[in-house]
């Protein structure tokens, strides 16, 4: 059986984008980034005129996540797609990670917004069905800020392996308790 997966979202867990824009959260630093997934949301605007995104990242998160590489395959599960390897991974000191390729839906690549992505059959978050398919029965942890009870129910019903769907506060990003939850899940898999 393949190694368990640790699915990582960027906005929310790694980038506390809901935080007070006047104050950078402790441990985080602000970065200006212009990923392709952001540029395509501005059709008709010259590339040089697209205002960069303000992205808050905590450099301590990279080593903390890398410490889980013995237990999990780290996988980007983010609307950033492959841009996460180009923009986020270097700042955090992470290696190039596998990336979930989302199906072609009206999304960033087509100049749409996340709200246009199609929810699952039971109203669950649009990523959920695809993560269960990608996991293919292997255990997984999913760190995201948009997980709800509907996602938990879908995974219980449609996923044959163990799973931890862990919602991260998008105002604070990953905190010690979040890392502890992942570590506890990894320990339970070994037990």
Average the pLDDT over 64-81 and give the result: 96
- Note whether 9 and 78 are within 8 A (CB): yes
- CA dist., res. 148 & res. 63, Å (int): 28
Looking at the predicted structure, is the pLDDT value of residue 114 above 60?
Answer: no
- CA dist., res. 180 & res. 141, Å (int): 12
The pLDDT of residue 126 is: 87
Annotate 94-154 with DSSP letters as a single string: ----EE----S-SSGGGT--GGGSPP-TTS--HHHHHHHHHHTTS-EEEEES---HHHHHH
pLDDT band at 1; cut points 50, 70, 90: low
Q: pTM of this prediction?
A: 0.90
Q: What proportion of the chain, given as a percentage, has pLDDT over 70?
A: 92
Domain ranges of the chain: 5-190
Looking at the predicted structure, is the pLDDT value of residue 140 above 80?
Answer: yes
Average the pLDDT over 161-182 and give the result: 97
- CA dist., res. 151 & res. 128, Å (int): 6
The pLDDT of residue 19 is: 84
Tokens of 149: 């009870």
Looking at the predicted structure, is the pLDDT value of residue 109 above 60?
Answer: no
The pLDDT of residue 108 is: 42
pLDDT band at 117; cut points 50, 70, 90: low
Q: Average model confidence (pLDDT) for the chain?
A: 90
Q: Which CATH number fits domain 5-190: 3.20.20, 3.30.70, 3.40.50, 3.30.1370?
A: 3.40.50
């Amino acid at each position: 059986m393949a190694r368990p997966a640790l699915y990582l979202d960027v906005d929310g867990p790694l980038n506390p984008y809901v935080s007070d824009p006047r104050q950078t959260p402790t441990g985080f630093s602000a970065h200006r980034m212009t990923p392709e997934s952001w540029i395509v949301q501005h059709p008709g605007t010259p590339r040089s005129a697209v205002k960069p995104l303000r992205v808050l990242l905590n450099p301590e998160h990279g080593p903390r996540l890398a410490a889980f590489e013995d237990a999990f395959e780290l996988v980007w599960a983010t609307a950033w797609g492959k841009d996460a390897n180009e923009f986020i991974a270097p700042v955090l000191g992470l290696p190039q990670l596998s990336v979930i390729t989302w199906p072609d839906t009206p999304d960033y690549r087509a100049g749409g917004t996340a709200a246009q992505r199609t929810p699952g059959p039971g109203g669950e978050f649009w990523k959920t069905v695809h993560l269960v398919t990608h996991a293919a029965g292997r255990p997984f942890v999913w760190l995201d800020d948009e997980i709800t009870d509907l996602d938990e129910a879908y995974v219980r019903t449609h996923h044959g392996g163990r799973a931890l769907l862990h919602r991260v506060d998008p105002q604070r990003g990953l905190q010690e308790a979040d890392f502890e939850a992942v570590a506890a899940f990894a320990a339970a898999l070994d037990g």
